[in-house]
Amino acid sequence: MSEFLFLGIDGGGTKCRARLRDDKGNLLGEGSGGPSNIRLDPDLVWNSILTACREAVRQAGLQEEDLRRIPVGMGAAGAGQKSAVERLLSRPHPFASFAIDTDAHTAWLGAFGGGDGAILIVGTGSCGYGCVGGRRQYVGGWGYEISDEGSGAAIGREILRRTIWAYDGRIPATPLSRTVLAEFNDDPEILVDWVGKARPSDYARYAPLVLEHAQRRDSIGLELIRNAADEMAQIATRLLDLGAPALCIFGGLAEPLRPWLPPPLQHAIVPPAADALDGAILLGRTAQSGGRNDRTGL
């Protein structure tokens, strides 16, 4: 086994993934953990990170103490918020070094290897990101409360809102709204109690149900998926208008929503050279060698 190893971490709102490669690019191990949006509690996030990394090194036949010699790069949802990064880095870590940037940045690094281009992530949350001539530009990604248009969390929020509308009689009920309300024993008060405790990933789990009903031409499902695709298209159009020559899409909802996009945008989409985990590995390697792709490195 090579003396030089690198770990890449992709931290999302629903799960955390880790990948271990050697300096020749050979895949040695992968692992997964729980939610790791760094706006969440730092102890929860570190638990998710370490769970994923321990599994990756175990697959490589290594011990947990080997983490001390491995540089790490992490692309994380929520890393655009400086205070969230500071909270995470206030905890000690077991790695040789730890570089962190947004999940959008590492997805772009993987997709274009540092060259001009743009990416759009549509999963639990959403964010557009491009880099042209060395200039970085974010579009969206401000959190599902006020942004993250087209995302699973946004779709989930909207189906719950329309379920209440249908219960009130403001819009006609459909099989989709009835199915959602049935999960709460047909009692809006139970739904409201749930909302008070729900995380973005809890909302996002309704997105596949909405997609399924949209395919059946359910009127509410069709409205929500068309709206999500329109919002996704607005972000993508802005990135291309900024000069990005091509667009890569990532996330669990990217491909399901792609057929709903306008044809000109579909023609701009290209396959990525690599994924966000390999982008995170590149981030860690660059940071350790003194490069400046990382937002924060320790």
Q: Are 207 and 154 in contact (CB under 8 A)?
A: no
Helices 152-168 & 207-215, crossing angle to 10 degrees?
70
Distance of alpha carbon 124 from alpha carbon 83, whole angstroms: 21
**Are domains 5-113+273-297 and 152-268 of this chain identical in fold?**
yes
Q: Are 127 and 13 in contact (CB under 8 A)?
A: no
Highest mean pLDDT among 153-157, 283-287, 292-296: 153-157
CA angle 267, 142, 31 (to 5 degrees): 75
Element (H, E) at 156: helix 152-168
Distance of alpha carbon 120 from alpha carbon 144, whole angstroms: 15
Q: Are 100 and 296 in contact (CB under 8 A)?
A: yes
pLDDT number for residue 186: 98
Mean pLDDT over 27-41 rounds to: 94
Mean pLDDT over 26-46 rounds to: 94
Mean pLDDT over 16-34 rounds to: 96
Extents of the domains making up the chain: 5-113+273-297, 152-268
Does the structure show a pLDDT above 60 at 294? no
- Phi then psi for residue 185, to 5 deg, are 55, 35
Does the structure show a pLDDT above 90 at 80? no
Highest mean pLDDT among 75-84, 123-132, 168-177: 168-177
Burial of 295 (0-12, 13-18, 19+ CB in 10 A): middle
Does the structure show a pLDDT above 50 at 292? no
Distances in whole angstroms, Cα of residue 196 to Cα of each of 45, 187, 193: 21, 15, 5
pLDDT number for residue 78: 84
Distance of alpha carbon 238 from alpha carbon 240, whole angstroms: 5
User: How confident is the model over 268-283, as pLDDT tens digits?
Assistant: 999 999 999 999 999 9
Does the structure show a pLDDT above 50 at 293? no
Q: With pLDDT > 90 as the criterion, what percentage of the chain qualifies?
A: 85
pLDDT number for residue 298: 38
What pTM, to 2 d.p., does this model score? 0.81
Q: What's the CATH fold of domain 5-113+273-297?
A: Nucleotidyltransferase; domain 5 (3.30.420)
The per-residue pLDDT of the chain, averaged, comes to 93
Residue 1 pLDDT grade (very low, low, confident, very high; cuts 50, 70, 90): low
The contacts found for 174-183 with CB under 8 angstroms, 24 or more apart, are 174/213, 174/218, 174/219, 174/220, 174/221, 175/213, 175/216, 175/218, 176/209, 176/210, 176/213, 176/218, 176/220, 176/221, 177/220, 179/209, 179/213, 180/206, 180/209
Mean pLDDT over 27-39 rounds to: 94
pLDDT number for residue 12: 84
User: Residue type at 53?
Assistant: C
CATH number attached to the domain at 152-268: 3.30.420.40
